[in-house]
A and B are shown apart, each in its own frame.
Chain A
């Protein structure tokens, strides 16, 4: 615009740029730097910290191996279950008149904090089957109660009383229990987004399919899922990112004990309890490295959707 001094835009941008520089740009660079230094951030140690993460168990902190793999378990199981449930529920709810109420019921957990959710589910998972809802349900169906959050056995062990007592980290029941809480919380998000996407499918396509003789199952797999796939990808990437960054839930429910640690809880322990800034920084970098590609995909998808509108 004519008459606007050259420095005006920069003035408007200044507060945002300064805050971003101080809190995001500078720290990111600094954390990279620290990941190559020792625990007090004084001496250069090269890639030692990274090697440590990959190889080492340590007294105060749980097995790092399982932390990384736990995250992998999260991002597969959690994502698949949440998206799956979200999709099915969105499709079913679209057929009833009280759709809005039903969706609201599923959506409520999204509003509460992870901390509050953790409290709810600690209560639900309580070992004492007089109190703990899940165990009460299990015993009433004739099974044995278990300490969900501490049980390091596998699904098979619990169901059939055979098999090894201790399963590899990611496949442990307590991990599953935590993941289930995650699904409980995030399903509502998936339902809302997928439901919005579902509404975008023109009814004519569905009617044409029905006239062509497709049954509901076929319609679901051959029309709804493919047409909805961009939305499914957006939801999935969001959930994967959540899974990778998961902290609050695990921290409050188990503190990462009983081999439920994830990279984010490990980071907190290393950086702020053990106070090894080098390893802590290295863990943060690991988090960054595996979140970035997913977010790039996610943003690009979103940009693409915006542009084609």
Chain B
């Protein structure tokens, strides 16, 4: 149980910078998820923490201890690998006991700890089997068991769910959250799947091209993304972006594109006033676009006519792929909608939930006082 601190950490592989100036303080007992697309540097960051790669610049602390030069085995860290890394020639019990035998823990203690971990993970009946006799889900639990048995200061996870099928993934997500609460430890978790991040994390750190984009709670990242990348990455389906011109007057701001004209709510107008006459990027999430006919009563919105391109029936809602002004966008609407491909439909943007971004820097324009 410890906190982890990254201070200006940089990692270079020859001329490629994999991680750049990474600064992050992770509190004790947090479930921190490092998320981002492939190649963003999240796995490398994890490996730097584990001691599997050497840092080029910067410092990493576990607790109060500087661990730059400390070998992996002395960092009191356990890691669950993407492919589980189970020792094929050892039984499940031996796999879980391996680290303990290396540290010369007495046999009785080993047995006790392995049984306890096996119980938590419901794999007691598998202790005598070899990895090749287990299913993917079972192997993953054994990998988890191995980590739990070590009782480390920090648990590291490197995309542990990516080899599981969809249904198992959903189930395991819930179990990991429960495990986190039960073990009351620091979890640092790497994934490319933002759903995993949103459902399990206490805080999320988004990375892209080696740089940290934003750190915050899932709610923070969802409601107040710091830039276009985070806005488009978090939330599924992704946020819609429209290039628009800010027009009107400082008290009455609208956003214009060819056939779109939406009014900006009064609360947000001051923030956009400086951009009058200029282009910005207008962002709105699919779940904040409604079928006018079934518009929820508390929405103040700007109505728009759009052509329906494709409809996807999801059961509890319908995804509409729409076209307006040559712009394609997605709306999640009430399942009772009468939209059909080829028709036009009136949709309403919930402007209280609008987002705006500077087109040059791609940073978010803060619309309301924080």
Contacts and interface: CB of A to CB of B under 8 A. Distances in A.
The answer to whether any beta carbons of A and B sit under 8 Å apart in the complex is yes
A16 interface: no
Contacts of B70: 2-3
Interface string A1-14: 11110000000000
A2 B56 CA distance: 13
B64 interface: no
Contacts of B73: 3
A4 B69 CA distance: 10
A2 B55 CA distance: 10
How many residues of B sit at the interface, in one of the four size bands? Answer: under 10
Nearest to B69: A2
A4 B74 CA distance: 12
Q: Residue among A1, A2, A3 with the most chain B CB within 10 A?
A: A2
Contacts of A2: 51, 54, 69-72
Contacts of A4: 71
Nearest to B72: A2
Contacts of B52: 1
Interface string B61-91: 0000000011111100000000000000000
A82 B73 CA distance: 55
Nearest to A3: B71
B60 to A, nearest CB: 11
Interface of B is mostly: loop
Interface residues of A, number: 4
Contacts of A1: 52, 71-72
Contacts of A3: 51, 69-74
Nearest to B73: A3
Nearest to A4: B71
A2 B48 CA distance: 10
A4 B70 CA distance: 10
A2 B66 CA distance: 14
Contacts of B74: 3
B51 to A, nearest CB: 5
A3 B54 CA distance: 10
Interface in A171-202: none
B132 to A, nearest CB: 23
B46 to A, nearest CB: 15
A3 B52 CA distance: 11
Interface string B28-54: 000000000000000000000001101
A7 to B, nearest CB: 16
Contacts of B72: 1-3
A124 to B, nearest CB: 48
Nearest to B51: A2
A1 B47 CA distance: 12
A2 B77 CA distance: 15
Nearest to B74: A3
Interface string A101-138: 00000000000000000000000000000000000000
B193 to A, nearest CB: 30
A307 to B, nearest CB: 21
A2 to B, nearest CB: 5
A3 B73 CA distance: 9
Interface in A118-172: none
B58 to A, nearest CB: 15
Interface in B70-116: 70-74
Interface in A4-42: 4
A73 B91 CA distance: 58
A44 B66 CA distance: 65
Interface in A253-305: none
B57 to A, nearest CB: 15
B77 to A, nearest CB: 13
A58 B52 CA distance: 67
Contacts of B69: 2-3
A175 B260 CA distance: 95
A162 to B, nearest CB: 70
A286 B73 CA distance: 54
A116 to B, nearest CB: 38
Interface in A37-93: none
Contacts of B51: 2-3
B74 to A, nearest CB: 7
Interface in B109-144: none
A4 B51 CA distance: 12
A1 B74 CA distance: 13
A2 B52 CA distance: 7
A2 B68 CA distance: 9
A188 B275 CA distance: 83
Contacts of B54: 2
Nearest to B55: A2
17 contacts: A1-B52, A1-B71, A1-B72, A2-B51, A2-B54, A2-B69, A2-B70, A2-B71, A2-B72, A3-B51, A3-B69, A3-B70, A3-B71, A3-B72, A3-B73, A3-B74, A4-B71
Interface of B: 51-52, 54, 69-74
Given A2-B69, A3-B73, A4-B71, 14 more contacts: A1-B52, A1-B71, A1-B72, A2-B51, A2-B54, A2-B70, A2-B71, A2-B72, A3-B51, A3-B69, A3-B70, A3-B71, A3-B72, A3-B74
Interface of A: 1-4
Closest 10 CB pairs of A and B: A3-B71, A2-B71, A2-B51, A2-B54, A2-B72, A2-B69, A3-B70, A1-B71, A2-B70, A1-B72
